Amino acid sequence: MRLWLSLSLTVAATSAAAQASFDCSRAGTMVEHAICSDPALAALDRDVAQAYGAARAGQPPAARDQLLAEQRAWLAARDGCGSDRICLSTAMQNRLSALQASGKAAAPPSDGFTGLYCSEGAVMGMQLVGSSLRFDFMVFSGMHSCGTPILTGQRIGAGWTAVDGACRLHVTVEGPDIVVRTDTPAACKEAYCGARAAIDEFHMPYSARRPVADPFIGGAGERSC
């Protein structure tokens, strides 16, 4: 009797810990079934839902609408994973990081963002224009690279989000670094990267900034650092 009770309590605790953000008894898609059958994916799904709610809390209507549109677009991209658990895990981890970063305090440095940033393996141009952030970058991985055109990020929460087709890039300031993340890595890779390069997350130290009037002269990979 004690063994049965112990096992029952263990199963109940495991089920509660692995509960997704939705009712698994009503799962109808491949993605929902994959999430409900994997405790780690269920926990990630719940964490993403909680982070999304926290990111929207206290925001003005326009920012909430933008976050809602982003979340819907991300869900559509995530659903492209089907039952691929690695794909689902990567998509949810990236989305969780982006949502959590959007809630962190991030004020522009006292002398602004505008400048050319050069670090080992990356070149980035940035220009703060009102509440928007113009930026581009080239990130190298061995002989391969990812490079963007000049993008404009709109202020969402404590960071900026740029949307180019199916690719979304989020820029935040975290401590001494400017951090670029995406929650649509496959779309960004297709848009900007060579065969063996990918965009997921990279950090550019603010100390790498060179204050120039126009950081966008020439392509990102052609600028003199």
Residue labelled with tokens 């400017």: 178
Average pLDDT over residues 142-166: 88
In a domain, 131, yes or no: yes
Identify the pLDDT of residue 148. 95
- On whether both 79 and 57 belong to a single domain, the answer is yes
Identify the pLDDT of residue 147. 93
In a domain, 148, yes or no: yes
Average pLDDT over residues 74-79: 86
In a domain, 77, yes or no: yes
Of 51, 72, 102, the residue that ends a domain is 102
Average pLDDT over residues 149-161: 87
Which 3 state secondary structure label does DSSP give 50? Answer: helix
Residue labelled with tokens 């990267």: 193
In a domain, 193, yes or no: yes
Range of the domain at 61: 18-102
Of 80, 102, 124, the residue that ends a domain is 102
Which residues have CB under 8 Å from 159's CB, separation 6+? 101, 102, 104, 106, 153, 170, 171, 172, 173
In a domain, 26, yes or no: yes
pLDDT at 216 over 50: yes
Q: Give the Cα-Cα-Cα angle 218, 173, 193 (nearest 5 degrees).
A: 45
200 contacts 210 by C-beta, under 8 angstroms: no
Q: Convert the pLDDT of each residue in 28-70 to its tens digit.
A: 999 999 999 999 999 999 999 999 998 888 788 887 888 888 8
- On whether both 93 and 137 belong to a single domain, the answer is no
- Indicate the pTM of the whole model: 0.61
- On whether both 139 and 95 belong to a single domain, the answer is no
Q: Domain tally for the chain?
A: 2
Of 51, 73, 102, the residue that ends a domain is 102
Average pLDDT over residues 148-172: 89
Q: Convert the pLDDT of each residue in 91-121 to its tens digit.
A: 888 888 878 876 654 455 555 789 999 998 8
